[in-house]
């Protein structure tokens, strides 16, 4: 049986590991995705329908540009019977062509099929997606990999952040 937490974890592992097949353990076949992008440094379609199309957008197409993807859901996982779950997220990744670091954050709003635990709708808001030099990749990846994955508490993340570029603007998002 799928639980809401299992579904979210499958999504994170699918996206981070470039494994689109895992989304069958996360989304219903007719699931929908809504994206709100509040930065000019990354682009996604505003609406996507169907698990296969979601896999293309969030896993396959994404993996053509990015690697070393590491996503954290901030806070506790949802209860086993949750119909919705809202949480903030943080992602770090590198651009395949240049090795440059990208660090972003935003909000997830998950809606689950009652009793099934599968996602019927996901809303993703990208608040920030910042660009950093390639030399910042190692300290940021060391930081991200030292945190609980994929569920991390904001206080743990903020208190252990490295002194890299303008990381403070990302961290402010989690302090509010």
- Total domains in the chain come to 1
For the segment 24-68, what is each residue's pLDDT rounded down to a tens digit? 999 999 999 999 999 999 999 999 999 999 999 999 999 999 999
Write down the residue that tokens 């995705």 correspond to.
33
161 vs 151: CA distance, rounded Å: 16
Token pair recorded at residue 21: 């097949």
For the segment 101-155, what is each residue's pLDDT rounded down to a tens digit? 999 999 999 999 988 899 999 999 999 999 999 999 999 999 999 999 999 999 9
CATH number at residue 161: 3.10.450.50
22 vs 9: CA distance, rounded Å: 10
Contact 132, 101 (CB under 8 A): yes
Token pair recorded at residue 99: 């090795």
Residue range(s) defining the domain that contains residue 42: 4-175
């Amino acid at each position: 049986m799928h639980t809401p937490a299992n579904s979210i974890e499958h999504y994170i592992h699918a996206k981070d590991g470039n494994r689109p097949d895992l989304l069958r353990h996360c989304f219903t076949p007719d699931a929908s995705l809504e994206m709100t992008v509040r930065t000019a440094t990354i682009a996604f379609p505003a609406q996507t329908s169907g698990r296969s199309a979601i896999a293309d957008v969030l896993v396959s197409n994404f993996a053509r540009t990015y690697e070393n993807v590491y996503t954290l859901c901030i806070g506790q996982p949802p209860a086993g019977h949750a119909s919705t779950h809202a949480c903030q997220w943080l992602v770090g990744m590198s651009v395949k062509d240049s090795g440059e670091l990208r660090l972003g954050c935003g909000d997830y709003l998950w809606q689950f099929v009652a009793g099934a635990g599968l996602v019927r709708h996901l809303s993703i808001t990208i608040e920030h997606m910042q660009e950093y030099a390639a030399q910042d990749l190692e300290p940021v990846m060391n930081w991200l990999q030292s945190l609980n994955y994929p569920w991390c508490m904001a206080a743990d993340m903020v208190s252990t952040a490295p002194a890299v570029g303008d990381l403070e603007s990302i961290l402010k998002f989690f302090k509010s």
